[in-house]
Amino acid sequence: MRDHKTIICRCEEVSLEDLVRTAESYRCSSRELKLRTRAGMGQCGGRTCRALVDSITQKCTNDSTPHDIPLGYQAPIRPITFSIMGEKKDE
């Protein structure tokens, strides 16, 4: 029998079931949901699941979508090598 779980965060393999259970028991923000489950904390930086995590939070807490972006973005916004990040340049 194969696993019937619905994956939401592919990088960290967090399922819809895990996220809904966590969101319902803690009634928490997207950020807390992320920190509790690691959804969105994998190598893609949440590029696939960010919107899904936000929508789970909103539906479980019945809040309307805030104008501020619920899960903040940080640079680098693309996966880059350490050499690109640490490069020294004279300008």
Partner 1 sequence: MIDVIIVGAGPAGLSAANVCAKNGLKVKVVDEFMKAGGRLLGQLHEEPDGTWWNGIEEAKKLSEDAQELNVAVECGVSVHNIKQEKSYWKVYTTKGDFKTRALLLATGAAETSLPIPGWTLPGVMSIGAAQVMTNVHRVRVGERGVVIGINILSAAITRELQLAGIEVSSMYLPGKNIVTEDAAKPLSTMKSMLKVASLAPSKLIRLGSYFMKYESLQSLAVRFYPKNGMKVWGMPVHLRKAVLEIVGDKKVEGVKVAQVDVNGEPILSTEKFVPADFVCIAGGLYPLVELAAISGCPFQYIAELGGHVPVHNENMKTPIDGLYVAGNITGIESAKVAMKQGAVAGYSISMDLLKTDVNIEDQLQQAINHVKQTRNQATIQFHPDIHSGREKIHASFKNTLRTDI
13 Cβ contact list (under 8 Å, min separation 6):
7
Complete DSSP assignment for 20-58: HHHHHHH---HHHHHHHH-TT-STT-STTTHHHHHHHHH
| Residue from 1, 43, 76, 82 binding partner 1 (CB under 8 A) | 76
Closer residue to partner 1 (CB): 15 or 32: 15
Closer residue to partner 1 (CB): 5 or 35: 5
The nearest distance, CB 35 to partner 1, in angstroms, is: 19
28 interacts with partner 1 by CB under 8 A? no
Interatomic CA distance for residues 89 and 22, integer angstroms: 45
Interatomic CA distance for residues 59 and 61, integer angstroms: 6
| Residue from 1, 62, 74, 90 binding partner 1 (CB under 8 A) | 74
Contact positions toward partner 1, by CB under 8 A?
Answer: 2, 4-8, 10, 16, 20, 47-48, 51-52, 55-56, 59-60, 65-69, 72-78, 80, 84, 89, 91
